[in-house]
Amino acid sequence: MTTERQKSNIMVTVPDFSAPLAQALAEINERHVNTGEEPATQLNFTPHGYVLTKEGMYVLNTEGVGNRSPITPENKAEIGLYPEWDEGEGRKRMSALPAGFMEFSDTELIMLPTLKEVPLEEFIRSFGHRLENNYNLWLGSLRESEVMTMESST
């Protein structure tokens, strides 16, 4: 039984993490130069986005997981990075544990280029009860926080 998600007017801004991701890959590979380990070919992470409210910026990922407190210079958003290695012949290997984290304050996230803006109901994936519950929790929380829109910020 599938239920239609309650629609919202809440837009999630998805930043372009390509520049900090490239820097993180170089740093992680640099740490492993003399270990005999092959350098990672890329870093994987769960896509993240943010919503601006009158209380501050909230960061969440596509599974509806995120800090329930606004992001600040002291309370940074953390994004886990999972290295991937090319094993040849089309095979790849990915770490089950993060090799590091990217950390961002609200100002640092706003300074990244924007890839797209997506409605909250499309940003959080739809698959199973846990994700639906996470969506409903964020929907209620963000509505209470008075989401900033272009109209409300002018």
Greater confidence (92 vs 75) lies with 75
CA distance 70 to 107: 12
- Which residues, 6 or more positions from 43, have their beta carbon under 8 angstroms from its beta carbon? 21, 24, 25, 28, 81, 82, 83, 84, 99
Terminal-residue alpha carbon distance, the chain: 43
The mean pLDDT of 87-102, rounded to a whole number, is 88
Residue 69 lies in a domain: yes
CA distance 58 to 81: 20
Residue 91 lies in a domain: yes
Residue 84 lies in a domain: yes
Output the pLDDT for position 150.
Answer: 46
Band (pLDDT 50/70/90 cuts) for residue 127 is low
Output the pLDDT for position 154.
Answer: 41
Residue 45 lies in a domain: yes
Token readout for 38 is 């092959």
Output the pLDDT for position 1.
Answer: 40
Residue 151 lies in a domain: no
Q: Which residues of 115-132 are buried (b: 16+ CB within 10 A; e: fewer)?
A: eeebebbebbbeeeeebb
Residue 5 lies in a domain: no
Output the pLDDT for position 152.
Answer: 47
Residue 153 lies in a domain: no
The mean pLDDT of 81-107, rounded to a whole number, is 91
Greater confidence (6 vs 21) lies with 21
Residue-range definition of the domain harbouring residue 119: 11-144
Bridge partners of 98, per DSSP, are none
- Looking at the structure of the chain, the number of domains it has is 1
Strand stretches in 30-132, DSSP E: 42-44, 48-53, 56-61, 77-88, 91-94, 100-104, 114-119
Angle made by CA atoms 14, 68, 59, in degrees to the nearest 5: 10
Nearest Cα neighbor of 14 from 65, 53, 59, 56 is: 59
Residue 149 lies in a domain: no
